[in-house]
């Protein structure tokens, strides 16, 4: 959690930093809530390993989306 706040705060414009960091924290908490709610139901309905499989699948999907965003908008290259 601290790493995401640091990265978001570093990339945000100073006049928008507070709002952006708070939205990052809000959606992080919302994600934790849904992970517990859905993971608990998967645990009860299927197997004890189901919530971990769900978390892995979500992480793979986020990785693919991050790669697509990076390819579509690579940003500036650092000098050096």
Give the pLDDT score at 79.
65
Beta-carbon contacts of 35 under 8 Å, excluding residues fewer than 6 positions away, are 51, 54, 55
Per-10-residue mean pLDDT of the chain, 80 residues long, equals: 81 88 92 93 94 94 93 74
Q: How far apart are CA 4 and CA 12, in angstroms?
A: 12
Give the pLDDT score at 47.
94
Q: Would you state the structure tokens that stand for residue 39, as one six-digit string? A: 């993971």
Give the pLDDT score at 3.
84
Give the pLDDT score at 80.
58
Give the pLDDT score at 1.
63
Q: How many residues does the chain have?
A: 80
Q: How many CB atoms lie within 10 A of CB 72?
A: 7
């Amino acid at each position: 959690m601290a790493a995401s706040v640091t990265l978001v705060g570093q990339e945000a414009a100073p006049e928008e930093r507070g709002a952006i960091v708070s939205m990052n924290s809000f959606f992080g908490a919302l994600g934790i809530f849904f992970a517990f709610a859905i993971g608990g139901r998967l645990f009860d309905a299927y197997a004890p390993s189901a919530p971990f499989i769900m978390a892995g699948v979500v992480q793979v999907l986020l990785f693919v989306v991050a790669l697509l965003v990076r390819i579509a908008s690579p940003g500036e290259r650092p000098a050096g």
